[in-house]
Every structure is written in structure tokens, then in C-alpha cells.
């Protein structure tokens, strides 16, 4: 018969208590926190959307100008 190998168990580490640190000053409302988080996380999306809208406006204006000259 083949030898059985013992499985090693992962070492268990003690979990330390985490302490929440509160910043000094007026506490922000939950809506303000999510708005700030939204601005930070999606800043690149807003920048890209602004660029797309500007380009679309330029192209639309170009179509109107071409229509006036060609008619």
C-alpha cells in the first residue's frame, strides 16, 4: 500500500482589533462622501465625456455650415 501524506494546515494568525480614526472637524454627510468618492473614482470618465461632447458639437456645427454652403 502507498504511504499516506499528511496535509499541512495553514498557520492561524491572531486577528487584532482595528481602531477607526475619526478626522477632526465637521462630519460629512453620507451623500457628500459618496459624491466626493464618485468625483475621484470617475474623474477620467467625466473628462472623456466632456471631450466627446465637444467633438460632437464641432462635428454638428460643421455639418450645419456645410449644409449652408452646399445649398
> Per-residue confidence of the chain (71 residues) as pLDDT tens digits?
677 777 777 666 665 667 665 566 666 677 778 888 888 888 899 999 999 999 999 999 999 999 999 98
Q: Where are the alpha helices (DSSP H) in 19-42?
A: 30-41
Distance of alpha carbon 36 from alpha carbon 25, whole angstroms: 17
DSSP state, 13? -
Amino acid at each position: 500500500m502507498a504511504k499516506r501524506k499528511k496535509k499541512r494546515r495553514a498557520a492561524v494568525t491572531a486577528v487584532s482589533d482595528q481602531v477607526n480614526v475619526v478626522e477632526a472637524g465637521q462630519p460629512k454627510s453620507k451623500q457628500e462622501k459618496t459624491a466626493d468618492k464618485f468625483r475621484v473614482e470617475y474623474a477620467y470618465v467625466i473628462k472623456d465625456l466632456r471631450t466627446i461632447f465637444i467633438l460632437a458639437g464641432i462635428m454638428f456645427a460643421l455639418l450645419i455650415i456645410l449644409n449652408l454652403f452646399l445649398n
